[in-house]
Amino acid sequence: MSRIRSPFRFLPVAVLGFPLITTILSCRKDKPEQPVETPVTIGNEHGVYITNEGNFQWGNASVSWYNKADGQAVEDLYAPANGSALGDVLQSMTLHGGKGYLVVNNSGKVVVVDQDSFRATATIAGFTSPRYLLPVGGNKAYVSEMQGNKLRVLDLAANAIVGTITCRGWTEEMALAAGKVFITNETRKYVYVVDPATDAVADSIAVSSGGNSIVEDANGKLWVACKGGGGTPPALCRIDPATLQKEATFNFAGSSANPWRLAVNGDGHMLYFLNGDVFRMAIADDALPNSPFIAAEGRNFYGLGVDPGDGTVYVADAIDYTQRGRVFRYSAEGVSINDFPAGRIPGGFVFR
Amino acid sequence: MRSCLWGPVFVLLAGPNGYGQQLPDTIKLHDVVITAPQRADFASGVKVQVIDSTALARFRFADLGNLLEQESPLFIKNYGPGSLATSSFRGGSANHTAVLWNGFNIGSPMNGQVDLSLVPVGIADNVIIQYGGGSALWGSGAVGGSILLNNKPVFNGGLTVEGGASCGSFGDQRQRVGISISKPTWIGSVDVFNTSSRNDFEHVNTEEHGSPKLRQQHAELAQQGLLAENYFRINARQRINARFWYQRNDRNIPPTLMEQSSTASQQDESCRATTEWQRTGDRVNSYVRAAWFDERLNWHGTGTDSAAFSRAKTLIAEAEVRIKLNNDRQRINIGLNNTYAQAISDGYPDEPRQNRTALFASCQFADRKRRSTTTVSLRQEVVGGDPAPFTWSLGSEYQLAHWLQAMANIARIYRLPTFNDLYWTPGGNRDLLPEIGYSGEAGLAAKGEASAHVSITAGGTVFQRTMDNWIIWLPSGAYWSPENIMNVWSRGVEMRGEIAWHAGTTTVKLGAWTNYVVSTNQRAKAANDASVGKQLIYVPMYSGHGKLSVAHGPLHVSVGANYTGYRYTSTDNRSFLDPYLLADAAVSYRIAAGKKCSASLLAQAFNLLNADYQVMLNRPMPMRSFQVGVNVRFHQPNAIKNIQP
């Protein structure tokens, strides 16, 4: 034993000292940088709000802001202005009467903010899983719901739910045209038509299943993007809101296509949508575009917006959904301009 | 394989339990003690931690997640009391910890995980944590480490009747009753347990204006279960056993801090039956064993139309032979395992089935002076006709001095894609490859007497692991789909030390451990991915534990503290959860009433400092809470005439 022990008599020092020292030297700092959170007042600036969904159940929804004049991006307007988190899954934002209506899906609420200071002025609660808000005249607005087979009727003066409209399935984006409200449906193959005078479903127009976005073109016609499913193909459909008839259908080849985030430019002549890449289609075209307008090239395109003023195209990259996303700006001709960081899972663009 | 961390292949701490322990299964045969090595012994050079009996007694009413949170360096992703709890072992995912009940992997074939909140501590007589890559011994999933839950019968122990109950904060009530009859040739035991809790704890909602104090809603829990064991000694050399574990669990799933309310609930029901025949020879031990697991899960979401049912059945058959040669200086273990699994789920259009067959072998050598032990293990698994990665491990332990042991191990590790990864509709990807990698560690463990009254143990382990083809779900068209995308490099240092002072019936122990774990994604998942080189989410880089305990005769008092450092909640490491320090205290007192009866009283307090903390984002955790319990035991030895010659 003694023969073994003597060469190792310095071992206690080595055992205790060396790893300690190497550990200390090799250790990484784990404390993250705390972001500086100063409230930003937008004032009369022109730019775009970016709604960041955040992760389901993580409560990290936020709203980013991009100032068009100076190119400055603000990662979050809400938390610095209010000192609290916005909520869980920000599905959409609607500007109306100087206010922003933030529809927070999994928190079951609509948060009303001043569009300049971004301070919350009211919270409308009582929803199941709200998706989109559409003002339909006067102080009235409709809110679509993912669950519960109904639309909510809001009084925007009282900031309260004042009624419900039974409408089957998962109601999604809505548009007001020819005095009627047209409601896309993610789980049923119809666009439902609601008369805002009676707050009741007046008609339904067969399209494809998976209807998710709807825009009005220069001719006053409505375009609907449908993901397909349930035996119906992915498609773009054109509806005449006056006759309540589907006028044209552009089916995608193969069921793996996923057209969504349909947008239209300011003059209403050009449609844009996501299907992995960004695609562009003139409203007069008689076929779907074959090649991408902006190729994703490894990016995870999750949101799309077109500036109604100058036609600049904004594309949001959600990357891996668990880090802050990025927004890429392209000219109306598809030439890359710049990019900037946004919040977690950027999905929607609201221009002002 | 990175080499930079292998330079300082020095350790500190492996600690009181840090030796590569032999886990003898001792049986008495004609007054000759025959030590049957277990398969876990065929892992030289890895850190092994045996949870001590004091801790097991303290957590006898709790679940495995609670126990490991307090008593091990594993990070437990705990969604709240009674809610889902999964583990991160040395920076791995929840799929990278193998949980074995008497040698059978109880991970769900559907998601490859074990919800540790559904495993009561009382289901096992001992809990052993085997660190590091164990794929060559235990197969798929033994990546970060393995948790071994074993039942240890003692023949001719007599009659034991035991009953216990506890009650605690938030309407928490737990009861256990067990009876065990242990004859020279037969043991029969039954334990039943019942748990119910309202879990309506108060917490601070920091996400709301003014940080109001709220009461947790919709988190009620009810659990009932039964464990029955039978052991027969057929003759001096042969034994056979059968075990049966039934459990049902009904819990409500509380809302997150950002949800208005929740109506979601989950019901789990499982039946697990195992049997084993073994023959103990002078040189050759043989084992044949089988297990049947049937697990059901019923989930009801908050929405009106969201509900899911799934059921998985697993049949495992295994044969093993252990041979001792050369005066037990060489040991050989050869085994064959066949695992058949099938599942029904709303997510699977067909009823997926999978058959896996694995051949494994280990060879262990000790030198003539038995100063060193070296083990080589190999395993080849075939999954539905296709070979899984060939895995191996090589490890060694060397006694440098009577007080100092050095150890090192290197292993090939893998994890098979789960049923969800392969078959979920839509998205399941049948072309997925297994995750595969290397893991290695080296450590030193010291143990000595500083004086007649003071003993010291200390140790340290450096580890590292690379895992390639790491499976993650990413969007692909209209739905998400799993892909072999990530490459993760994990490395770290674990240190452990304890100083004990004993005099008479008094023992004072002061112990501590620290963990440093860096686990980073090494490959971009997409363009613009800022996660490369960044710590994985929910892997604390730093954590530590300290404990002071005093035992004086029948009285045992301990205070402990657990520190958990920053955990990132974004892959670019910009979002995070704050560190927390949880202090706890426990007092127990044992009363003997005559020779046959004894009782122990237990009182404990958790989160003594009233920390407002989150383990998982937006999942509230209780403030200070208390539990008191009592356990009564009646024990009558067998009459003398029953004892074997």
> What b/e readout covers B285-311, taking b as 16+ CB neighbours within 10 angstroms?
bbbebbbbbebbbebbbbeeeeeeebb
> Residue A282: what pLDDT?
97
Residue among B545, B584, B579, B585 nearest B562 (CA): B545
Give the tens place of pLDDT for each residue, A231-243: 899 999 999 999 9
Q: Determine the pLDDT at residue B478.
A: 66
Residue A37 confidence class, pLDDT cut points 50, 70, 90: confident
* Chain A residues lying within 8 Å of B486, measured CB to CB: none
Kindly report, residue by residue over B149-202, the tens digit of the pLDDT: 999 889 999 999 999 999 999 999 999 999 999 999 999 999 999 999 999 999
Dist. CA B513–CA A311, nearest whole Å: 60
pTM (two decimals)? 0.89
B307 interface with A at CB cutoff 8 Å: no
According to the model, what pLDDT value does residue A203 have? 96
Residue B105 has pLDDT above 80, yes or no: yes
Ranking B168-172, B345-349, B612-616, B631-635 by mean pLDDT, the lowest is: B345-349
Task: Tell me what pLDDT residue B19 has.
Answer: 34
User: How do residues B74-83 score in pLDDT, each as one tens digit?
Assistant: 999 999 999 9
Parallel/antiparallel/unpaired status of strands B330-345 and B353-366: antiparallel
Q: How confident is the model at residue B474, as a pLDDT?
A: 82
DSSP state of A232: B
Express the helix, strand and coil content of chain A in percent, nearest 5 each: 10, 50, 45
Kindly tell me if the per-residue pLDDT of B58 is higher than 60.
yes
What mean pLDDT, rounded, does chain B reach?
90
Q: What residues have CB less than 8 Å from A106, skipping those under 6 apart?
A: A56, A57, A87, A88, A89, A129, B258, B259
Kindly report the average pLDDT of chain A as a whole number.
91
Among the partner-chain residues B477, B527, B574, the one whose CB lies closest to the CB of A324 is B574
Hey, which residues 29-68 in chain A have their CB within 8 Å of chain B? 30-33, 35, 57-60
Residue whose tokens read 């356990």: B631
List Cβ neighbours of B543 (8 Å cut-off, separation of 6 or more). Answer: B73, B75, B514, B515, B517, B562, B563, B564, B565
Calculate mean pLDDT across residues B200-228: 88
Is there a contact between B198 and B170 (Cβ–Cβ < 8 Å)? yes
Beta-carbon separation of A35 and B574 below 8 A: yes
Task: State residue B205's pLDDT score.
Answer: 79
Chain A contact present for B578, CB below 8 A: no
Shortest CA gap A30–chain B (Å): 6
Q: Is the pLDDT of residue B324 over 70?
A: yes
Residue A278, pLDDT above cutoff 60: yes
For the segment B533-566, what is each residue's pLDDT rounded down to a tens digit?
A: 999 999 999 999 999 999 999 999 999 999 999 9
CB A207 within 8 Å of CB A200: no
- Contact (Cβ atoms closer than 8 angstroms) between residue B543 and residue B577: no
pLDDT on residue B283? 92
Q: What is the mean pLDDT of residues B54-66?
A: 93
Q: Which residue of chain A is at minimal alpha-carbon distance from B400?
A: A4
pLDDT of residue B31: 33
Task: Name which of A36-45, A115-124, A330-339, B487-496 the model is least confident about.
Answer: A36-45
CA distances from A102 to A107, B77, B261 (A): 11, 32, 19
pLDDT surpasses 70 at B337: yes
Nearest CA in chain A to B447: A12
Q: Does B473 touch chain A (CB under 8 A)?
A: no
Can you give the pLDDT at residue B318? 97
Q: What is the pLDDT of residues B451-475, one digit of tens each?
A: 899 999 999 999 999 999 999 988 7
- For the ranges A26-30, A44-48, B147-151, B615-619, the lowest mean pLDDT is seen at A26-30
pLDDT at B186: 95
Q: Is the Cβ of B100 closer than 8 Å to some Cβ of chain A?
A: no
pLDDT, greater one: B28 or A193: A193
- Cα distances from B551 to residues A2, B82, B500, B506, B605, in angstroms, run 36, 31, 11, 5, 18
pLDDT at B1: 34
Q: If DSSP codes are grouped into helix, strand and coil, which group holds residue B68?
A: helix
- B449: which residues sit within 8 A by CB, 6+ positions away? B455, B456
pLDDT value of position A33: 78
CA contacts within 13 A on the Cβ side of B216: 28
| B207 touches A at CB < 8 Å | yes
Percent of chain B beyond pLDDT 70? 92
CA distance A109 to A102: 8
10 Å Cβ neighbour count for B458?
A: 26
CA dihedral B24, B28, B29, B33 (to 10 degrees): 50
Q: Which residues constitute the domain of residue B393?
A: 3-643
Query: Which B residues in the span 484-503 are in contact with A, Cβ-Cβ below 8 Å?
Result: 493, 495
Distances (CA, A) of B318 to B106, B243, B511: 15, 16, 40
Altogether, the residues listed in chain A come to a count of 352
pLDDT for B7:
32
DSSP structure string for B495-541: EEEEEEEEETTEEEEEEEEEEEEEEEE-S-SSTT-TTBTSBPTT--S
A258: helix, coil or strand?
coil
Average the pLDDT over B623-638 and give the result.
Answer: 95
Contact yes or no for B303 and A129 at CB 8 A: yes
CATH number at residue B535: 2.40.170.20
Strands B104-105, B25-29: parallel, antiparallel or unpaired by DSSP?
Answer: unpaired
Q: Do A320 and B531 touch (CB under 8 A)?
A: yes
Helix (H, G, I), strand (E, B) or coil at B168: strand
Q: How far is CA B244 from the centre of its chain?
A: 20
More confident residue, B304 or B2: B304
Order the strands of the A245-251 sheet from edge to edge. Answer: A211-216, A222-226, A235-240, A245-251
Q: Would the CB atoms of B618 and A30 count as touching at under 8 Å? A: no
For CA atoms B1, B3, B4, B8, give the dihedral sign: positive
CA distance B577 to B588: 34
Interface of A with B in 233-292 (CB under 8 A): 256-258, 276
Whole-number Å distance between alpha carbons of B164 and B631: 4
Instruction: Evaluate whether B91 touches B539 at the Cβ level (below 8 Å).
Output: yes
Angle ∠(B396,B397,B399) on CA atoms, nearest 5: 150
What's the mean pLDDT in B409-431? 94
In the predicted structure, residue B125 carries a pLDDT above the cut 50? yes
The torsion region of residue A69 among left (phi > 0), alpha (psi -120 to 50) and beta comes to alpha
Token couple for A96:
């109306």
The alpha-carbon gap from B355 to the nearest alpha carbon of chain A, in Å, equals 31
Does A18 have pLDDT greater than 90?
A: no
> How many contacts (CB atoms, under 8 Å) link A and B?
161
- What length is written for chain B? 645
Distance CA B488, CA B525 (A): 12
Q: Other CB atoms closer than 10 Å to residue B445's CB: what's the count?
A: 29
Straight-line distance from the first to the last Cα atom of chain A, in angstroms, rounded to the nearest whole number:
84
Residues of chain A with pLDDT > 70: what percent?
92
SS3 B569: coil
As a whole number, mean pLDDT of residues A66-86 equals 93
Amino acid at B289: R
* Predicted local distance difference test score (pLDDT) of residue A12: 52
Distance, CA of B435 to CA of B413 (rounded, Å): 8
* Of A320, A241, A134, residue with least CA distance to B529: A320
- Distances from the Cα of B491 to the Cα of B516, B519, B548, angstroms: 8, 6, 29
For residue B5, pLDDT over 60 is answered with no
What is residue A17's predicted lDDT score, i.e. its pLDDT?
Answer: 59
User: Tens of pLDDT along B512-528?
Assistant: 999 999 999 999 988 89
Coil/strand/helix, residue B383 = strand
Distance (Å, whole) CA B125 – CA B57: 10
Mean pLDDT, range B67-86, rounded to an integer: 94
Q: Are A119 and A159 within 8 A, CB to CB? A: no
Q: B402 contacts in A (CB within 8 Å)? A: 1, 5
Predicted confidence band of residue A8 (pLDDT cuts 50, 70, 90): very low
Q: What percent of chain A has pLDDT over 90?
A: 84
Tally of structural domains, chain B: 1
Q: Give the pairing of strands B145-150 and B97-101.
A: parallel
